[in-house]
Chains A and B, each alone.
Chain A
């Protein structure tokens, strides 16, 4: 568990981060989202003490971060930044193994970990291990950046707009990869983005920042359904709100007994995709696969009820 407690930072007597408090559960992804200049980067960098906090403290598993020397703290916290910051004169293997090397892991253990991570990111170890960063595509460099941050199995992974420089298709794939890897490793991640779409896609919890303050912190559905301020409502997007909401819910939530024409869809399909399928094929209901073979379906009416806002 990571506890952020009243963290503040002032530049020229102006608060860049203003008394932010929140708790991040172990094994979850929390996405900090906000417009440019809202203090997200500053908040993140105070956690690994790249910036010193003017007030407040951070506790990791109950232990205050300022009880450690900064460089020792940073070796326990993974850090991935936009523009990846790979070392151009290190091979990919040495880049990924940088933190384990600092921690004094034995050579063969580092090598095994590097290969494991490369495979996890769908990069053939034998092919990529000895290359240099400049020989990789932007998407690959970015994945190596994340792999480096994960290498020592850190307590916490901080990611500052890690997918900002990628084109939409590569970005979506990178997001799926991250989600899958986070689930597999059970990592705790704090990720910063200005893109609400990304926040909804990745976050178990979303923290919305505005002008240095934390204005709302909750589950994606909670934030879309009940935005705390006009700013949050604007961030979650007027016309797209119902669709975003649907994209978070699986068909399994509203499945009902009954039959419908056509091929059955998986119960894990999200409601946005189910809606699209209804509209595209002109059907009012879709059959849903079940374990026991009983007929089940999801209806357009039920989907519509889920997408309806309050009032």
Chain B
């Protein structure tokens, strides 16, 4: 019901926005006037039908179908609307999705998520659903159906740069996660074993976590700058006050707390009787660690890595500010030029990346759960 009311409300908001060029504020175009009627009628029909199907609380399969239908209608309208509006407009005109589109998109996505979770899919189904979604998005982009949108027009001349930023962003988010895991997992194991170390280390890491990201970069710049000038070898491998290194290092520092704290929590979640039995049957310290403690603590440890991955994907945007590369580059360029579309070119892929990473990690966490619940 909520979906329907929200849907109706967002129909009233402008669906697309048409601007004379990339800087000026656009003019809203309503939903029903977005595209010629021969396109908008079937698209709107799909959208409405999908949302109505979404009302069938007790039939999750139909709800999923409804969500997919309404998404299809939505993107059809977007694609056709953009083409139609551009056809009658000036050379520098830009069409971008407006509030109405975004609201409808959120509604459809929520409906899809809600209906899917109602189905309680297993990890394999979820992985398949994710892959299918990614394929659809890729197909949509590849087919050029959205190429009339302003964001695509921002993308077209920057293809290489976007790809470059994507790879940089992955390095920043995943690389820092990898390094943090490499340092944090052993630290977590040590903290678990030695309460003295834990009492000293965890507050320190919590403190690091509370430093605002801009301040953290601020600290990194002079610090690494100094190292770079003092040690030519360090400079040779790219350590300097600005650029990739300080951004990467800051992300690693932020990641340590979730990794270490969750490793400790994961190891502590193991029932004492299990730990005792492992010792009692004659496992060595290493055998206990790799055969019992890590496998049983893994879901909690992975939850820590998931937090880090999502957090770093977002934080890596700020790296753009100090020349660290990644999607943040476009966000800050866009901010400087007050070009919303350019900001979106940086922000949308970041959000998508974070979401995909979160879903993949959730699937992994579920797979590693010990069989059929826990020790009784």
| Chain A residues proximal to chain B, CB less than 8 Å | 48, 50, 70-76, 79, 81-89, 98-99, 102, 132-135, 138, 141, 145, 148-149
Choose among B280, B295, B370 the residue that contacts A81 (Cβ–Cβ < 8 A): B280
Main secondary structure of the interface of A (DSSP, over half): helix
Residues of B within 8 A of A148 (CB): 281
- Contact at B292–A87, with CB atoms within 8 Å? yes
Find the B residue at minimum CB distance from A137: B376
| A-B pairs, 6 with minimum CB distance | A85-B277, A74-B282, A75-B282, A79-B280, A85-B273, A132-B371
Q: How far is the CA of A126 from the CA of B59 in the complex (A)?
A: 40
List which B274-308 residues lie within 8 A (CB) of chain A.
274-284, 287, 292, 295-296
List which B299-355 residues lie within 8 A (CB) of chain A.
none
Q: How far is the CA of A70 from the CA of B287 in the complex (A)?
A: 14
- Contact at B282–A141, with CB atoms within 8 Å? no
- Contact at A83–B370, with CB atoms within 8 Å? no
Whether a CB of chain A sits under 8 angstroms from the CB of B142 is no
- Contact at B373–A134, with CB atoms within 8 Å? yes
- Contact at A73–B375, with CB atoms within 8 Å? no
Q: How far is the CA of A26 from the CA of B371 in the complex (A)?
A: 39
Max chain A CB contacts within 10 Å: which of B278, B283, B284, B371? B371
- Contact at B375–A134, with CB atoms within 8 Å? yes
- Contact at A79–B371, with CB atoms within 8 Å? no
Choose among A50, A98, A99, A149 the residue that contacts B276 (Cβ–Cβ < 8 A): A50
Choose among A50, A71, A73, A141 the residue that contacts B284 (Cβ–Cβ < 8 A): A71
- Contact at A79–B372, with CB atoms within 8 Å? no
Residues of B within 8 A of A99 (CB): 281-282
- Contact at B287–A50, with CB atoms within 8 Å? no
- Contact at B279–A134, with CB atoms within 8 Å? no
- Contact at B273–A74, with CB atoms within 8 Å? no
Whether a CB of chain A sits under 8 angstroms from the CB of B58 is no
Say which size band chain B's interface belongs to. Answer: 20 to 34
- Contact at A79–B296, with CB atoms within 8 Å? no
Whether a CB of chain A sits under 8 angstroms from the CB of B374 is yes
Max chain A CB contacts within 10 Å: which of B273, B275, B280? B280
Choose among A72, A82, A85, A132 the residue that contacts B282 (Cβ–Cβ < 8 A): A72
Max chain B CB contacts within 10 Å: which of A48, A88, A133, A138? A88
Q: How far is the CA of A89 from the CA of B273 in the complex (A)?
A: 14
- Contact at B274–A141, with CB atoms within 8 Å? no
- Contact at A71–B282, with CB atoms within 8 Å? yes
Residues of B within 8 A of A73 (CB): 282
Find the A residue at minimum CB distance from B288: A71
- Contact at B376–A85, with CB atoms within 8 Å? no
Q: How far is the CA of A89 from the CA of B292 in the complex (A)?
A: 8
Residues of B within 8 A of A50 (CB): 276, 279-280
Residues of B within 8 A of A72 (CB): 282
Choose among A71, A88, A89 the residue that contacts B283 (Cβ–Cβ < 8 A): A71
Residues of A within 8 A of B280 (CB): 48, 50, 74, 79, 81, 85
What are 20 inter-chain pairs, A to B, with CB distance below 8 A?
Answer: A48-B280, A50-B280, A71-B283, A74-B280, A79-B277, A79-B280, A84-B277, A85-B275, A85-B277, A85-B280, A86-B274, A87-B278, A87-B292, A88-B375, A89-B295, A102-B283, A102-B287, A132-B372, A134-B374, A134-B375
Find the B residue at minimum CB distance from A132: B371
Q: How far is the CA of A172 from the CA of B370 in the complex (A)?
A: 32
Find the B residue at minimum CB distance from A75: B282
Q: Separation in Å of the A213 CB from the closest CB of chain B?
A: 25
Residues of A within 8 A of B271 (CB): 83, 85
- Contact at B371–A88, with CB atoms within 8 Å? yes
